[in-house]
Amino acid sequence: MAERNEIIHYHEEDGASVIILLNNPPVNALSLRMLEELDRAIQNFSKSRHLKAAILTSAIEPVFSAGADIGELRNSSVDKVHDIVRQAQQVFARIEGMPKVVIAAINGVCFGGGNELAMACDIRVASEKAQCGQPEIALGLMPGWGGTQRLPRLVGKTAAMELLLTGKSVSANEAYRLGLVNRVVPHHELLNVAKKMAESFAAAPQASIQAVKKSVTQGLSMSLEDGLHLETHLFMQVAQTNDAQEGMEAFLQKRPPVFAGGQ
């Protein structure tokens, strides 16, 4: 089954993954309406019992997203601009914090809010044609959808400050060198690579996936000591699952594990 609306297309794949397509020509400008529809798609995925991994990509070539809808921002009241900023932050936080894997398949231009959206995903696979950046400063603005927070956590303060203060974009290969994306692939292979990754995550023990995401996401805002306590707590929970028992037994028996994916 596929749930469709005008600017977000939701395609359930065979198996346990879904493709969420951004489709707001010409450049996938992230308007308030688009953010709201994206949020609905993300929540549908999050609530699904059989879907385990999602791929977030674009129906438009060669653009992932050029960022916020500048015309909407320019013509909105202060209160509405505030609503747009908070909506984007909440949607991106939902993506980052959910207990399932979200892969960004970046097929081209990935600027501003588009880059902030990609950074909220767990894994970023980039086409060789991709370009990433935070150009807000050239508009007399600054990133407001998580860019000043997630970018330094991904690439370090030094590189982040240069990108944020100059507004320059980087190629896919430079984004990989900086640690902004996980992998760069030929353009025609992008979706297939993302699908294979999604299939792998969907087949993995889900309690482990959930615990890793929670430990990393929450741990980044904690002291090292508190983060280690969280890690210990989550490790003990995971170690008692059927999948953990199967995984350890299979290792000792020198055979592939057969994970059920349950608790």
Q: Taking CA 195 as the corner, what is the angle to CA 191 and CA 198, rounded to the nearest 5 degrees?
A: 140
Distance CA 65, CA 26 (A): 9
Nearby residues of 70 by Cβ (< 8 Å), 6 or more positions away: 29, 139
Instruction: Report in angstroms the alpha-carbon separations of 59 from 63, 75, 84.
Output: 8, 27, 23
User: What positions carry a catalytic annotation?
Assistant: 116, 136
**Residue 60: other Cβ atoms inside 10 A:** 20
Nearby residues of 212 by Cβ (< 8 Å), 6 or more positions away: none
